Structure 1
Amino acid sequence: MTDNARTHAPRGLPAPPPLGAAALPPGTYAGQVVLVTGGGTGLGKAIAAEFARLGAGVVIAGRRAEQLAAACRELEAVPGAGRVAAAVCDIRDPERVAEVFDAAEAALAAPDVLVNNAAANFPCPAEDLSPNAWRAVVDTTLTGTWFMTREFARRHLAAGTPGSIVNVGASYAWTGGPGFAHSAAAKAGVKNLVETLAVEWGPYGIQINGLVPGLVPHEDMTADIRGGLERSAPGPKDA
């Protein structure tokens, strides 16, 4: 290596961006409509807020009207936000799912982006899972995701328009999750939907991707998950 090369060789990685920095500039999604399930709380609301900041019209769907109304007020206050609408829906019911898309189109326009964030989950030893407990999680997390995905794709295929779907997954779709057999199995199904439909619908301009975030603290966390976070929080011994 020459002396000149040594002088100009990179010295490690660049510094990370400051906390709160955004990858995309405001207005990136101006003129587009994004539909987010489970958008009234937690991760879904945060996703909706970011799309609002990027200029998208946002439709949030969920089962609790009061949560959706409160979330709409927050989203409308996001700087740069486009129009915001809400639709009460149980995604386990395909007829209600169709109504959500009808409502989104009436309020704003046909959604360009669908974020399948809604899911159900609670810890339970596998041998103690009742049929109702199994169905409650699988029907929401997997079947509900499928109903939303299918309705979105049917409308875009009929119109000949491109679209984008994001399915929120979980790492234990790959690794398994003791105490969460119902949720892990459902999320493995969601993962496979991404892989299958990306190939099947890609030629028609419908993209589908999976997003696997870490645990996001929010107000609906179960007591055991909240307790685990508290136990793992940095304390004097970790300072």
Structure 2
Amino acid sequence: MRKVERRHWHMFFSHGRKTLYQNVEAPQAKFFRPLLKAMLPPDTFKGKVAFITGGGTGLGKAMTTFLSTLGAQCVIASRNTDVLKATAEQISSQTGNEVHAIQCDVRNPEMVHNSVMELIRVAGHPDIVINNAAGNFISPTERLSCNAWKTISDIVLNGTAYVTLEIGKQLIKAQKGAAFLAITTIYAETGSGFVVPSSSSKAGVEAMSKSLAAEWGKYGMRFNVIQPGPIKTKGAFSRLDPTGAFEKDMIDRIPCGRLGTVEELANLAVFLCSDYASWISGAVIRFDGGEEAFISGEFNSLSKVTKEEWDTIEGLIRKTKGS
């Protein structure tokens, strides 16, 4: 059983900094071209503080970059200090806005408490909190040990809870509101084999977010969730899919005909965390190019039937008598 330190299931097949160059998009992808620049006005987050867990790489880095570009003072946290500091320096030099790096293992409540105290000390109480840190690996469930289960649930569910409760209590004490966002996955809603600890924990995160949207609105806090589907990241699938065959199979079940991009995810995230979304709370937004809708429909595989085959099928149906 090989652990993979990545955010979501779409990150399982990453390797180093290699990039796939082949284009396996479906023809309809031309109708769904991604816009990669920040959609909100400059200075949307000027004077705001954002705290992002798992902010050093991948989706967390993209969301931090967009928030910083739009004026936020960002504080990123993760276990890997070297990666975290390099990301903070890179984004800060790119946007001109300060990015702080705080080492934090979200599995450790005491470390979370200390990190939140440092966050408040260096930047102030956060206006935006993004729970993005996660861990996962694929495995037949019968091969899982209790420790394997605990490792994932401690990061995904307990870690999100520790961060949310610690920051929430500090905000209540300071009588200050904030927008919380959790990054889950499409299988949090449906369940999925081979990632059972992750799907169970992510489902818990979604239940917690909706519950707190109901309970803590009175304190000025909003809670929303994004469920990403497969997102194209640097080096995606390059170890297990050097020819692009796996990626093509995946795209075959995405109606929009392509993988998502980190910039698109970041745009959705910063919108949900902005004052433009001040009436959105308790929402769970699927972000997957239509994949879940496609794989959920019992007859959607009929999209592979050709025109000639449909002519034959229609003829047979017309000949059918009775009910």
With normalisation by structure 2, the TM-score equals: 0.63
Counterpart secondary structure, 1:182: helix
Query: For the structure 1 residues 135 and 228, does the alpha-carbon distance in structure 2 shift closer, same or farther, using more than 3 Å as the test?
Result: farther
Structure 2 residues not aligned, in runs of 5+: 1-30, 253-323
Identity of aligned residues (%): 35
Q: Which residue of 2 aligns with 1:127?
A: 142
Q: Cα RMSD over matched residues?
A: 2.5
Q: Which residue matches 2:244?
A: 230
> What is the alpha-carbon distance in structure 1 between the residues aligned to residue 232 and residue 37 of structure 2?
20
Q: Paired residue for 2:64?
A: 48
Q: Structure 1 residues 196 and 18 mapped into 2: Cα distance closer, same or farther (>3 Å)? A: closer
Match of 2:100 among 61, 85, 95: 85
How far has the Cα of 1:59 moved from its partner?
A: 0.4
Q: What SS does the corresponding residue of 1:87 show, helix, strand or coil?
A: strand
Give the number of aligned pairs: 220
- Which of residues 140, 144, 156 in structure 1 aligns to 2:159? 144
Compared CA separation, residues 138 and 157, structure 1 to 2 (3 A): same
Residue 126 (structure 2) aligns with: 111
2:235 counterpart of 1:212: no
Unmatched runs of 5 consecutive residues or more in structure 1: 1-14
Contact 1:41 1:218 in 2 (8 A): no
Equivalences for residues 16-95 of structure 1 within 5 A: 19-79=35-95, 81-95=96-110
Partner of 1:186: 201
CA distance in 1, matches of 2:69, 2:139: 38
SS in 2 for 1:174: helix
Partner of 2:176: 161
Q: 1:6 aligns to what?
A: none
CA shift digits 1:48-106 (9 cap, x unpaired): 11100110000000000111011012211233x42110000110111111111111122
Q: Following the alignment from structure 2 to structure 1, what is the Cα–Cα distance between the partners of residues 141 and 175?
A: 44
Greater relative contact order structure (CA < 8 Å, 6+ sep):
2
- The 8 Å contact of residues 41 and 219 in structure 1, kept in 2 or not, is answered as no
Q: Name the structure 2 match of 1:10.
A: none
TM-score by length of 1: 0.84
Q: Does the CA contact (< 8 Å) of 2:88 and 2:99 recur in 1? A: yes
